[in-house]
Amino acid sequence: MKSGCGRLLLCLLCGVGAAQMAPGAAQAASGAAPAMLTNAQGTVEVRRAGQARWQAASLMALLRAGDQVRTGSAATASLVFFADGHREQLLAASAGTVTASTLKPLPGSRRVTVASGGRAPTGSGRILAFRGGPKLAAGYSSAAGRAGAIALRAEVTLLSPLGPTIRERRPALRWSGRDDADLYRVRLFARGQEPPREVFALETPQTQAAYPEGAPDLEPGTEYAWEIEPCSQGIPLPKSSGTFRLLDARSCQQLERDEAPLRALARTAPRDATAPLLLASLCTKHDLLGEAIAHYRRALALRPDDPGIHFELGWLCRHVGLDATAHFTAAGVDPVNPPLRRE
């Protein structure tokens, strides 16, 4: 049976109308709790109706008429109203009171309606109202507002290319998405000069992109900086960034020579984990951790109960920022404080 949190997430993703929910849930959405906090960046606080104390806001918190929301000097917050599906965003240093259908500005803040496709203003002390959007239902409202009830991604993570070093000169790009983003701006720069040289810039609503046709090939031995900026209805959200370098030409040639007999072994003995394990070790030595992880996963598919493979995978996943809990647990070690790898 699906949990209440899972059902709530499905409702949000699919845009299920309140009329499609159970009567009690729909009534909770449109009556006692007309809005929900769907995004919070920085210091965002809520003061419940009739209470004096401000409290830190929780993602997916249901907001009732009379509740107040405020943002700090460098914070933003977004709400969705269930009645018509429209969104409202509090920019920095703004505050408002929840009503049945809108967020009423408190003194020092003002409300700005953003036309469909229009450019959203910036600055502080403003509440932006975006008209339109699918109606959402707050089914299983008791789950909403609890810490961890819904895990919205607070940061975009580059998933491919993965790791500190790569060798593909025109790599496809893939990254984790945000539930509140409808556009991603991706840029890549070559480091080593000031200012860094832009290799390419692209925009896409997807969480993946092919290497742009007109962009130059990446250069061996060069370090690159990537930057991904998610946007929500024209509003930029916090950027994510990182670096990787292209393996130098000499190391790449040596690695290809060392890999050749192992790849031949993998073809002649596809059910043997020896080749992928040795290939993973080779890639690890060259800091090609993304490729090493892929080889270890192939080995794990052949030997799923091998604690040694789980341990190595756990350490590599942890190093590149992926969840390693399952692998460390399968290896029989503490996932919070695993022992050091044996080099």
pLDDT digits (tens, 9 = 90+) for 214-246: 999 999 999 999 999 999 888 888 888 999 999
Percent of the chain with pLDDT over 70: 82
**285-309 mean pLDDT:** 94
Q: Which residues contact 141 (CB under 8 A, 6 or more apart)?
A: 25, 28, 29, 33, 62
The SS3 call for residue 98 is strand
Residue 133 confidence class, pLDDT cut points 50, 70, 90? low
**180-207 mean pLDDT:** 92
- Least trusted range by pLDDT, from 21-30, 166-175, 329-338: 21-30
Measured CA distances, 231 to 64, 108, 203, 276, 279 (Å): 27, 26, 10, 40, 39
Cβ-in-10-Å burial (0-12, 13-18, 19+) of 306 comes to: middle
Q: What CATH number is attached to the domain comprising 202?
A: 2.60.40.10
Helix (H) or strand (E) holding 46: strand 44-47
- Per-residue pLDDT at 9: 35
- Per-residue pLDDT at 343: 54
User: What is the C-alpha to C-alpha distance for residues 35 and 98, in angstroms, rounded to an integer?
Assistant: 8
User: What is the C-alpha to C-alpha distance for residues 284 and 163, in angstroms, rounded to an integer?
Assistant: 10
Nearest 5°: phi and psi at 273? Answer: -80, -5
- Per-residue pLDDT at 2: 36
**Does residue 148 fall inside a structural domain?**
no
Task: Pull the structure tokens for residue 82.
Answer: 């269930």
**Does residue 140 fall inside a structural domain?**
no
Task: Tell me which residue of 182, 181, 200 sits closest to 190, measured CA to CA.
Answer: 200
**Does residue 138 fall inside a structural domain?**
no
Q: Are residues 192 and 309 in the same domain?
A: no
**Does residue 280 fall inside a structural domain?**
yes
- Per-residue pLDDT at 4: 36
pLDDT in tens, 29-69: 334 688 888 778 888 999 999 999 998 887 778 889 999 99
**Does residue 254 fall inside a structural domain?**
yes
Q: Are residues 102 and 121 in the same domain?
A: yes
Q: Are residues 22 and 121 in the same domain?
A: yes
**Does residue 139 fall inside a structural domain?**
no
Are 164 and 245 in contact by the 8 Å Cβ rule? The answer is yes
Measured CA distances, 204 to 53, 127, 207, 228, 244 (Å): 42, 27, 8, 11, 22
User: What is the C-alpha to C-alpha distance for residues 172 and 140, in angstroms, rounded to an integer?
Assistant: 40
The SS3 call for residue 78 is strand
CB count in 10 Å sphere of residue 256: 11
- Least trusted range by pLDDT, from 2-6, 83-87, 208-212, 297-301: 2-6
- Per-residue pLDDT at 137: 47
Task: Tell me which residue of 91, 51, 98, 97 sits closest to 71, measured CA to CA.
Answer: 91
- Least trusted range by pLDDT, from 28-37, 100-109, 174-183, 230-239: 28-37
Measured CA distances, 148 to 41, 127, 143, 248 (Å): 16, 27, 9, 43
- Least trusted range by pLDDT, from 106-120, 210-224, 247-261: 106-120
Q: Are residues 8 and 84 in the same domain?
A: yes
- Per-residue pLDDT at 82: 81
User: What is the C-alpha to C-alpha distance for residues 54 and 46, in angstroms, rounded to an integer?
Assistant: 6
Measured CA distances, 138 to 63, 95, 141, 199 (Å): 11, 23, 6, 44
**303-315 mean pLDDT:** 92
Q: What is the mean pLDDT of the chain?
A: 82
Owning domain of residue 110: 4-130
Residue 118 confidence class, pLDDT cut points 50, 70, 90? low
pLDDT at 311 over 50: yes
- Per-residue pLDDT at 236: 87
Count of the separate structural domains present in the chain: 3
**Does residue 166 fall inside a structural domain?**
yes
Q: Are residues 178 and 226 in the same domain?
A: yes
- Per-residue pLDDT at 114: 82
